[in-house]
Amino acid sequence: MKCNKCPYLPQRSEAGDYPDCPAPEEKQTTWKDGEDGCTLTRRQLDKMSDDYADYLGNMGDDMGTQMDFDNKGWKMDDALDDMRHMIGLDMLKHKPYKRHGKLFFKPYRNHWAGFNKYLDYFSGTLGLVEKQEPKLLDGMPYYYLTRRGLDFLGRHIGVTIHDVAR
């Protein structure tokens, strides 16, 4: 796409030049008519922009969560271990599998019965865990990881986690 038609072209600076283009340097080119541009399509640029926005949002959420844990004196690793246990990822019998250089895991369960301060924290405004308090278990809470919680755990342990097998 030529730079003069690109919706992602940054505004000119006070010096009169453009800052760096969001397209990778290897995709930059000069067209036959002498105009600068890149070899990416509009759809590819939109996807790059959306992925980067998601990355920044996730990074902000993760940093905020880590700061809350540090302020409370909690360890993030303990919370991640509890979340791994919820989905049955024990790294002994149930391990992630590898495809094309990436790790994947299909959980066979997704629950935690009993009070847990980390899961209680995640069930608040973060929406990573869903909490239920059934009458059958004498008021003992029951926790489930949401899709957002599975993504959160996957980001921290470097594994793509699928939905729970039914």
pLDDT digits (tens, 9 = 90+) for 29-70: 888 998 888 899 989 988 988 998 899 999 999 999 999 999
**pLDDT attached to residue 67:** 95
Strand partners, 144: 130
What whole-number distance in Å separates Cα of residue 163 and Cα of residue 145? 10
**For residue 80, what pLDDT band results from cuts at 50, 70 and 90?**
very high
Distance CA 52, CA 129 (A): 25
Q: What is the pLDDT of residue 1?
A: 83
CA distance 124 to 130: 9
Higher pLDDT, 36 or 154: 154
